[in-house]
Each structure stands twice: as C-alpha cells, then as structure tokens.
A and B are shown apart, each in its own frame.
Chain A
Amino acid sequence: MVEETLQRLQSQKGVQGIIVVNTEGIPIKSTMENSTTTQYANLMHNFILKARSTVREIDPQNDLTFLQIHSKKDEFMVAPDKVYFLIVIQNPTE
C-alpha cells in the first residue's frame, strides 16, 4: 500500500524524487541516487529543524505541519513529523 502510493507519487508529472529521512538526518528511503539523496537530506534537515524551531518559538503549542520551498527551478515539499521527514522534490514546469 505504501509502495503503491510512493510509486504513484513518483510517477507524477515533474516529480524528481522522494526522500524519507529520520530525525538524525539519515535517509531511510529514497527514489534518487545516493549522493543527491544524502546531500538533500543533510541540507533540508537543518532547515526543517530551524523552521520548526521558529514556529514553536513563537508559540510552543504550535507546530510545523508542512513546508514548501518554491524556487525558480524546483519545489521542495516537506511533511515533517516527530520521527521522520518526508521530502518531495518537484519541478512543476517540466
């Protein structure tokens, strides 16, 4: 079931990759090659933690539910959770 959904996501238009990282920043599942995966995972990890820290700093009862970074070429979408982060990279104009 999970695999199916992941497959579907991966086959969507413009999706470049899906990464699941755990709290340490280590990818546990990825559809991209290893080097890019590690790079993305490391870079996004800190950013996500910082974003969550920012949100919670303002109001500790609040929490980050979704993060989208829209850049010129890509879009990073992150669904954070306590034990993992789900990162999807999409190129919507492709």
Chain B
Amino acid sequence: MPISPTNSRKQPNLSPNNASLLPRRSISFNATGKTPVKGYIGANQSKMAASRNILILPEMKSAEKMNVPIIKTTQVFDINGVDVTPRPLYCPDPHVGTAKPSKLLSSQEGSHGSEFISSYSLYQNTMNPSMLGQFTRSVLGSSTISKSSISTTESIAEDFEEPSFKRERLSSLTDLRVMRAVPETTITKEDLEKNIEIILTESEMLQLLDLPTVMISVESEEVEKVIQRNKNYEILCKNRAGNDLYVERMMQTFNGAPKNKDVQCDKIVTEDKGMMATTWDLFDSYNALESLSAKQSSVKSGSKANVRPKDRDQRLTGSNMEKNSEASSLMDIENVILSKIHDDEEDHSDAILKSDKFHQDLFFMERVLMENIFQPKLAAYRQLPILRELEPEEPKDVSEGEKLEELEEEVKKEEGEEVEIDEEQATIPANLERLWSFSCDLTKGLNVSSLAWNKANPDLLAVGYGHFGFREQKRGLACCWSLKNPMWPERIYQSPYGVTAVDFSIGTPNLLAVGYHNGTIAIYNVQSNNNVPILDSSESPRKHLGPVWQLQWIEQDRGTTGDDKREILVSISADGRISKWVIRKGLDCHDLMRLRRTTGGVNKKGGEKEKKGEALISRQAPGMCFAFHPKDTNIYLAGTEEGHIHKCSCSYNEQYLETYRGHKGPVYKVTWNPFCHDVFLSCSADWGVMIWHQENLKPFLSFYPTTYVVYDVAWSPKSSYIFATANESRVEIWDLHISTLDPLIVNVANPGIKFTTILFAKQTDCLLVGDSDGQVAVYELRNMPTALDSGRGDIINTLLGPKSNQPG
C-alpha cells in the first residue's frame, strides 16, 4: 500500500505548512468539481491538496452507499445531488457502531500505519465524524480504483498528513475513541469459524517516484519549446525582485516536544564457543555414530567402571570425546569444583588404577625407566653407540682460550687412546667389563644354579636358583629375566625345593622346564602370568629320585619312524638315570640310560682287559651332566660323579659306547665345541678343566688353574679357541690360540662369593656369570683378539701338534 510510505515521507514537509490550512479547510466544503488537481507548483502543494481533498471527497462518496443516519449540521451534496455528507464515526446505534469500529479496527489491523489511524480520527474531529467511516472504506477501496485515481490516493495520503499537527490536541480524544471501539467488538463463534475469503489480487503498479529528466537533447523536437520556456523563466526570475506578484512571507511553526524513552533489558549473557574441526575429531564422531547404532544396548548396560559419566554421555551422543578441541569463554568453574569433590570420582580413579591397561602402562614405564638408567650398559651389550650425557658446558666465551685448549686436549687424548688401541692391541689387555647384574631382593642370598637363554627371544633369560649341596637346601626360585628390565624379573616361580636346572624349549619357546633338587621336573608356560606349572612330574611313577642336575630339550630326528623332528626333554639326575620325557597326557618318561658304576681298575692295570665290570647288579652312578652331539643327536656324553665321561647312544640304553676317564672328581659340565665337532670340554670338582677329542680316551689338554672347584665351563660361540670357566673364586677366559697355559682374562670374585654358572650371550660379546649371592652379572668382553677366520676346524691340528700334552 503506498499510503503509509508516502505518509512517512511527506510528513516533515507538510507539517510546517499545515497551520495555514486549517481555516481554509473548514470553509472549503463545496462540491465544485472533481477535476483532480494536477500540475500544481511544488511549494504550495499541501494547500492545494487541502482544497483538493474536499473536492475529492464527494467524488469518492458517490461510490459509497450510505446506510447510516446522518446527524450533522451541514450537508454535503455532490454534483449529482447525492447526499455525501460525512457521517460521524461514533453512532449511538450499536449495530452500526460495531460496523464502523470494526472498520476502524480492520483498518488498524491492515497494513496502514498507526499514524494513519490517528489521522483518521483526527480528521473526523475536524470534519464531520461520519465521514470517516466512509473515508476508511474509500481508502480501502481506493487501492482497487483505477489508475486515474492514483494521484488522488496520493493526495488523500497527503491530506491525512495535515491533521497530524493536531494530534497532540486531540490525541486524548483519539485515544478514547480508539479504545472504546475495541471492547465493543464482539466476535461470535460463528464469525470465528466462518471461512473468510481473502482475495489476493495484484495491485496495479504504483509509481512511487518519478523524477523526470530535466535535460533534453538538443536534437529533440521539443527543443524550441523548452528553450522558450527557459527564457521565460529567466525573465520571470529577473522580474521577481520588487515585483508585486511575488510576496515573501515567513512563518513560525511549533516544534513538538520530543520524548525520550529508555528501555532496559536483562543482561544478555554471551558465551563464545570455539571449536576446531580436527581430522581426528571428525573420524571419531563418525566412528562413534557407527558403533553407537551397533552397540546401543551394550553400551548402556556394559561395565563402565573405567568411564566417567561425562565421558560416557559424550560418547553416546557421538560428539567428540576430547573436550580440548572446544574453547569456551565461559568458565565453568562450578563443574570443575564439582568434579573434584564428586563421589564418583574416587570410584573411577580406583577403577583406573586397577585396570589392566594401567598395569601394562606401568610395565612399559618401568622398562623405559630402566632404559634410561641402563642405557650405556645396554648399549654396550647390544654393541650400539653409547649416548653420552652432555656435561654442562661452561660458557666458552668467558675463558675461551684455556677451555678450548683443554677440551681439545681431552679429545686428542681420547683419540690417541683409540689410536693406540688400534695400533697396539697388546697395550690394553683384554678384559671383562662388568655392565650390570640381574638381581633383586627376592634373589638375594640364593645360589645361581643354572642359566638358559630363550631360543626365540634373545633378551629373555631363565635363571634357576638353588643350592648344590644337600645341607644347604633352601627354597628355590626360577626367574625369567628380561634385558629390558634388569631390576625385576618378568616371571617368578617359587618352589620349596632348590632349582638345579632350567632350559627353554626350542620348538615351543614359551615352555620352560625346571628341574628341582628333589627330582621333580616342572614345565611352565612363561607367556601366562600364572605361577603354576602346566606340567609336573611329581606324580609320575618314574620320576627322578635325586636332584635333576641337567635338563635339555633336544630335537631328535625320528628317522626310523619317518616323523619330523620331535622334541624331547632329557634329564640326568643323581639317581643315575638319563631319562627322556615326552609330553603326551602329562609328563611321561622313558629311560635312555642307566648309568652304572664302572670300576676304576682299568687304568691301573694298563693293558689288561677290562673286567666284566658291568656286573649284573651294580650300583648306579649319579649323573651330573650330559651333552648331546651337535650334529648327531643320537650320541651324547654323560658325566658322572665318579669322574667318568661316557659316550652313549640313544639306541643303546644298557651299554656305553666309550668311556673317557681323566677326571678324579665329579664331572660338573661337559660340552661339545660348537665348531669342531670332535672336541669337547669338561670341568670337574678336581679343579681341572680338560679338553678331549672324541676319538681319544685320554684328554689332550688339561688345565689346573686354581685349587678351586670348577663349576662351569662353556665354549665361546664366536671362536673355537675361546672358552670360559667359572670356579669358585674367579672367572677365566681362555684363548687356546694365544696360550694354553694361562687364561687370557681372569676376573676375580669378591670375597665370599663363588661363581657358579657361566653362559655366553649369543649375538654379542657378553658373558653372564651367576654367583652364589643370587646375582647374575653381565660382563662384556673387551679387546678380545680378533678371531681367525681360518682354522676353526683346525683347532686340533694346531693344538695337537706342538702343544698337546697327552701322554704317548
């Protein structure tokens, strides 16, 4: 509707001029004609409009039907003689009264502005009130009137502006009228339910603004007229000054008092919320949505011991679990405080501490800590470069010259040392450097009886703790140590009896066989945390009756039966039996050999034939150790307490193939040379270490370095000339290539500690030594003479020839 805009637009223009119009209006009731006034000059627009207004009114009214009794003093007739007197807005007739107020209301509710309404009412005050009703109708209907009346509507709009200046004076009346109109409206139910048809039609185009051009082309047709007109205007302007036709008058207007109105609203709390759309956030949300649909029931009912309620809710809604990607400016202090004192918090923290993941993390953390502590040692073990902790460097700029020189000297010295080492290897002898030792509180005071590497994991070591002698028997312990944690064993298997032998299986590397002092053999699965052996031979009827001195898993060719290599566990014990254990339904044993005592009379009598020393009934000789031939797993050596070493075969369980006599005391260890398969080494309680060739019944080298019992001896896996021995007081490394009389390296034990077991590490130059105090020390062999590539197998030739000390 164009009327409102024009209202607002033209109002300021019109109001100053309105004052003069008032008197005119009241007397200009005459239906003089209906010619729309056009072409008025802009300055007195409103004046003309006023007159025009009245003129138009009758015109309008002609279209209207008048059904209201007219109570007025003056009567207005249009040219046709129809009574078009304006009627009062308020009529005593209630029925009619409703109609008009409804009109008023409808006009109110229409798109007309409030100004319009007030102007309506104002207008009626100035004019006859009855006019207004028709007026409204006319205005309403004016929109549908043809184009010719567009200007009239505009002028009507202007017109309505006029009485606006009177608003203040009559505003109270206006208000009254408006308000009174409201309660009289009764809308019946029928009215409500009545379907009201609203017809929407497109209104014709209303021109709101038309700015005609003030310039025309010189070539157009009207040029002459325009030029003439311009000239006339110029003349007019010149004549204006002093001309009686033009009078200037001034006017003062009233300025309405402005009114300020303040409004206060509640403080609007703003919260800034920031969110970073991270890739993983999106990923998590998608995943959560997917899993949500799959596991809705289980999530709700499942154990939430480890999950805080907040987190759970967040997960359920599929939103991000990590709140860090959200940034909120509102400090939710309450929540934080609440969460601190929340009761659930304690439960959850306990749950966290007890969870498996926490254990695992602690486990890893321990290892990392160990790595930090032992880094240099472990690096040396693994032959990695050692990270040296940077010494806090003093500011060089202070005393540059001196410091730099010193540093340089140090560097040179180190380099010099290394150079020296390279050039003259003999200057710094080979030595054992102690890296660390596996020990903890549990193992303190126990005697290390056996060591064994895991076949699959080269970092895993099994250590058996138990005393050798009968009188010193205490509780026993078998531990699995990992290189990654030298301070606490990975597995601890306790038992009331001392452990005398341990070995890891080859085929199933997680099985550990443990032999006890009371003859039982137990098999543990180290993968599980369980401390109970999976197999035990204590109920077997054919278990050993004496301490199991050695255990070994052997992969044997079952050539005869055509089966693949099967693994068997072989044990030797003090009851004189070498048994083979098979895991079927439990441990089942089968004797490979019964060690019989042989008389010692053969040696003394020289060439005499052996008596039939194998008496039909003879005593058993306690077996102390055995060693299977590396190539032919049918052949093995067994050392006995008598001092004899027997070569036996699995095929014969009654007789020995050979007997090697040399030792005077129990043979504690016998071991084949890993490179030269005819040579083996033995050590015994008679302080001696002997090297044998399997063809020869007499040792071809024997060593008596000390007057202490040699508990253990082992060949080096790297060179065929090097072996290590552990006797009570020291560890010796022998290199036969260099000398057969003296050991290469001697490492003396602390007083009170005996070295009891020895084991080489396979990939590195390290040696493990177990002692009687429960410690397994790891030594690194440094500056060892480089092994000769050639001659690994020629050890016999080189040794036998010039250096052999075998008799005849």
Contact = CB atoms under 8 A, between A and B. Distances in A.
Contacts of B354: 2
Interface stretch (B212-220, B222-230, B357-365): B357-365
Contacts of A58: 279
Contacts of B279: 56-58, 60
Interface string B41-66: 00000000000000000000000000
B371 to A, nearest CB: 10
A86 B348 contact: no
Interface size class of A (residues with CB under 8 A): 35 or more
Given A20-B352, A28-B352, A60-B283, A88 B357 contact: no
13 contacts: A2-B359, A9-B365, A9-B366, A13-B373, A23-B311, A24-B336, A29-B349, A53-B322, A53-B324, A60-B279, A83-B352, A86-B358, A93-B389
Interface of A: 1-2, 5-6, 8-9, 12-15, 20, 22-24, 26, 28-29, 46, 49-50, 52-53, 56-58, 60-61, 66, 68, 72, 75, 77, 79, 81-84, 86, 88, 90, 92-93
B362 A53 contact: no
A28 B311 CA distance: 17
B280 A56 contact: yes
A14 B373 contact: yes
Contact of B280 (A2, A60, A84): A60
A81 B357 contact: yes
Contacts of B357: 81
A79 B363 CA distance: 10
Contact of B278 (A13, A22, A56, A72): A56
B280 A77 contact: no
Nearest to B349: A28
Interface of B: 278-280, 282-284, 306-308, 311, 321-322, 324-325, 336, 339-340, 345, 348-349, 352-355, 357-359, 361-366, 368-370, 372-373, 375, 389, 392, 487-488
Contact of A57 (B280, B306, B336, B368): B280
Nearest to B359: A2
B352 A22 contact: yes
B349 A22 contact: yes
Contact of A20 (B306, B353, B366, B375): B353
Nearest to B364: A79
A92 B373 contact: yes
B324 A49 contact: yes
Nearest to A58: B279
**Most chain A CB atoms below 10 A, which of B308, B325, B354, B368:** B368
A73 B348 CA distance: 34
Contacts of A46: 324
Contacts of B324: 46, 49-50, 53
A88 B363 CA distance: 12
Contacts of A29: 349, 353
Contacts of B363: 5
Nearest to A15: B369
Given A26-B339, A49-B324, A53-B325, A5 B373 contact: no
B325 A84 contact: no
Contacts of B345: 22, 26, 28
B372 A92 contact: yes
Contacts of A88: 365, 368-369
Contacts of A20: 349, 352-353, 358
A52 B284 CA distance: 13
Contact of A9 (B355, B362, B389): B362
B373 A77 contact: no
Contacts of B361: 79, 81, 86
Given A56-B279, A81-B361, A84-B358, A2 B488 contact: no
Nearest to A8: B488
Nearest to A79: B361
Given A12-B487, A56-B279, A56-B280, A2 B369 contact: no
**What are the 6 closest A-B residue pairs judged by CB atoms, nearest first?**
A60-B283, A56-B280, A28-B349, A79-B361, A60-B280, A49-B324
Contacts of B373: 12-14, 92
A36 to B, nearest CB: 18
A83 B305 CA distance: 11
Contact of A75 (B311, B321, B362, B372): B372
B352 A79 contact: no
B51 to A, nearest CB: 80
A40 to B, nearest CB: 15
A61 B358 contact: no
Contact of B364 (A66, A83, A90): A66
Nearest to A77: B368
Nearest to B287: A60
A1 B368 CA distance: 19
Contacts of A72: 392
A82 to B, nearest CB: 8
B349 A5 contact: no
A29 to B, nearest CB: 6
A13 B487 CA distance: 11
A8 B358 contact: no
B415 to A, nearest CB: 25
Contacts of A86: 358, 361-362, 365
A12 B362 contact: no
Given A2-B353, A14-B373, A86-B362, 6 more contacts: A2-B358, A6-B362, A9-B365, A28-B345, A57-B280, A81-B361
Contacts of B308: 22-23, 83
